[in-house]
């Protein structure tokens, strides 16, 4: 029983199209008409696969959040010196962000207009706090410079990492995911580590 169906849409394949359009036009700027044009099926047919526009958003941001939270469960993020665990998390965040680029992009742009968006914002805050605690622990160990506030540094580092979604394009072979992860890790840790 292999998946030998006709080339028809599933909720997953439809999501791929929807997320692309959401990122191009913004979630609010995307109508179901836009989605139907991009998917090549009628507007009403979309409702055969998903309950509506918001379910597509929910599926997309959930996927991104799950991948990000999974980083914190990895071995190198749980054991070892705090500053090294932080380095691992930073590197993996960049890698996940690039591997799941459209989904993370959408996640980082939600504004909180609907219940789904507010739920996503809340989970994002949870994740941020977990990483902030890592940086705080590294500071307590004396492994990062003391002349920049931990809270401020966390936000700036997140800002740099998250900004990748604004310019990274996998098709344009400017820099591979690994190269970007290297550069970010080097730049951030060089700026943070105790001289």
Partner DNA sequence: AGAGTAACCGAACGATCGGTCGGGACAAGG
Partner DNA sequence: CCTTGTCCCGACCGATCGTTCGGTTACTCT
Burial (CB count within 10 angstroms: exposed 0-12, middle 13-18, buried 19+), residue 77? buried
Q: What are phi and psi of 146, to 5 degrees?
A: -100, 0
Q: Residue 129 and residue 124: Cα distance in Å, rounded?
A: 9
Cα Rg, the chain, nearest whole Å: 19
# of chain residues touching a copy of itself (CB under 8 A): 38
Contact status: 43 vs DNA (CB under 7 A): yes
Q: Which of 16, 20, 32, 121 is the binder for DNA (CB under 7 A)?
A: 32
2-10, 68-76, 102-110, 180-188 -> range binding DNA (CB under 7 A): 2-10
46-54, 58-66, 137-145, 187-195 -> range binding DNA (CB under 7 A): 46-54
Q: Which residue has the tokens 């941001």?
A: 61
Select 80 or 174, whichever has its Cβ closest to a copy of itself.
Answer: 174
Q: Which of 12, 26, 31, 81 is the binder for DNA (CB under 7 A)?
A: 31
Select 78 or 142, whichever has its Cβ closest to a copy of itself.
Answer: 142
Residue 27, classed as helix, strand or coil, is: coil
Give the Cβ contact number of residue 58 at 10 Å. 19
- Using CB under 7 A as the criterion, which residues of the chain lie in contact with DNA when the complex forms? 5-6, 8-10, 30-34, 36, 40-45, 47-49, 51-54
């Amino acid at each position: 029983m292999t998946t030998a169906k006709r080339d028809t849409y599933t909720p997953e394949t439809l999501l791929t199209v929807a997320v692309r359009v959401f990122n191009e036009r913004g979630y609010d700027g995307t109508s179901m008409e836009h989605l139907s044009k991009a998917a090549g099926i009628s507007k009403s047919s979309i409702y055969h696969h998903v309950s509506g526009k918001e379910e597509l958003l929910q599926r997309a941001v959930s996927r991104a959040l799950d991948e990000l939270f999974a980083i914190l469960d990895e071995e190198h993020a749980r054991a070892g010196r705090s500053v090294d665990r932080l380095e691992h998390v930073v590197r993996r965040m960049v890698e996940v962000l690039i591997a799941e680029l459209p989904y993370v992009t959408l996640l980082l742009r939600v504004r909180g207009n609907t219940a789904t968006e507010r739920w996503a914002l809340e989970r994002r805050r949870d994740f941020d706090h977990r990483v902030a605690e890592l940086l705080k622990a590294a500071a307590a160990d004396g492994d990062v410079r003391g002349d920049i506030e931990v809270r401020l540094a966390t936000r700036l580092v997140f800002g740099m990492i998250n900004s990748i979604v604004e310019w990274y394009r996998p098709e344009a072979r400017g820099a591979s995911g690994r190269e970007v992860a290297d550069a970010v890790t080097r730049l951030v840790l060089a700026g943070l580590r105790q001289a």
